[in-house]
Amino acid sequence: MTKLEIIIASTRPNRVGLPVGRWVREQALAHGGFDEVELVDLAEVNLPFMNEPHHPRLRKYVHQHTKDWSAKISEADAFVFVMPEYNAGFNAELKNAIDYLNAEWHYKAVGLVSYGGVSAGTRAAQMIKQVVTTLKMTPLIEAVSIPFVQQFLDGDQKIVPNETMLAAGKTMFDEMVRLTDSLRPLREETRAALAPANG
Ligand SMILES: Cc1cc2nc3c(=O)[nH]c(=O)nc-3n(C[C@H](O)[C@H](O)[C@H](O)COP(=O)(O)O)c2cc1C
């Protein structure tokens, strides 16, 4: 069983991240390479600014919100980050959510679906690679980069993709499935080591 979690990184009211995330979920389901696909909305997860007293490596979480977040991320085999570009970087809420945990992220592929203006969020996507590789995630070079994202929204705030976006999504999911399978032994080792603390 492989589970993909699609994380919507932006949390502000009227964010474009929600329609983009819903579109990515549809694409993942249509692709069919994952047994389970879940949309994880950071606005709903609603983590406060990092307030754990211990380093996440120790897994001595004291807050229920962290224990819940740990359980959610542990379940996943791969991620897509649906991420905006804010001031030529990735958004703070995503960094905060990443920083809460450590081994829960290990040996999981991450696809980057970024959006913004002319840059299509690519500066944010490049910047986050340094962070995710520190946590032993593998970011895919195959990505979906959406320029001037507003142009792809219809009157119902639904994404209407072009051919480039559809092809990029398919390529990204193809590679993600291959990588997710290849990383499985390392992920299982990590999961086994984590099991007692999770229980
Ligand atoms: C604080 C802030 C900073 C932004 N900085 C950039 C930027 O550096 N590059 C860019 O292409 N778009 C930038 N934008 C425009 C966003 O790409 C656009 O508002 C997008 O809808 C943001 O994603 P969201 O709606 O999911 O929050 C910025 C928007 C905000 C709110």
CA nearest ligand 1 atom 18, residue: 116
Q: Which residue ranges form the domains of the chain, and what is each CATH number?
A: 3-198 (3.40.50.360)
**21 in ligand 1 pocket by Cβ < 6 Å?**
no
CA nearest ligand 1 atom 17, residue: 116
pLDDT of residue 96 exceeding 60, the answer is yes
**141 in ligand 1 pocket by Cβ < 6 Å?**
no
Q: Give DSSP secondary structure letters for 13-39.
A: TT-THHHHHHHHHHHHHHH---SEEEE
**12 in ligand 1 pocket by Cβ < 6 Å?**
yes
Pocket perturbation via mutation, ligand 1, pick of 6, 86, 119 by most ligand atoms within 8 A of CB: 86
Rounded to two decimals, the pTM is 0.97
**From CA 180, how far away is CA 187, in angstroms rounded?**
9
Residue type, 35: D
Q: How many angstroms separate the alpha carbon of residue 46 from the centre of ligand 1?
A: 20
Stretch 129-137: mean pLDDT, rounded?
98
pLDDT of residue 114 exceeding 70, the answer is yes
Helices (H), 60-104: 64-75, 92-99
Q: How far is CA 101 from CA 66, 89, 171, in A?
A: 8, 21, 29
**138 in ligand 1 pocket by Cβ < 6 Å?**
no
**16 in ligand 1 pocket by Cβ < 6 Å?**
yes
pLDDT of residue 65 exceeding 90, the answer is yes
Angle at CA 111, nearest 5°, toward 108 and 114? 145
Q: How many angstroms separate the alpha carbon of residue 199 from the centre of ligand 1?
A: 40
- Beta-bridge partners for 159: 153
Please tell me the predicted confidence (pLDDT) of residue 189.
Answer: 93
Among left, alpha and beta (phi > 0; psi -120 to 50; other), residue 179 is: alpha
Are 120 and 146 a contacting pair, CB within 8 Å?
Answer: yes
Burial class (CB in 10 A: 0-12, 13-18, 19+), 105: buried
Q: In degrees rounded to 5, what are phi and psi of residue 111?
A: -95, 140
pLDDT digits (tens, 9 = 90+) for 141-169: 999 999 999 999 999 999 999 999 999 99
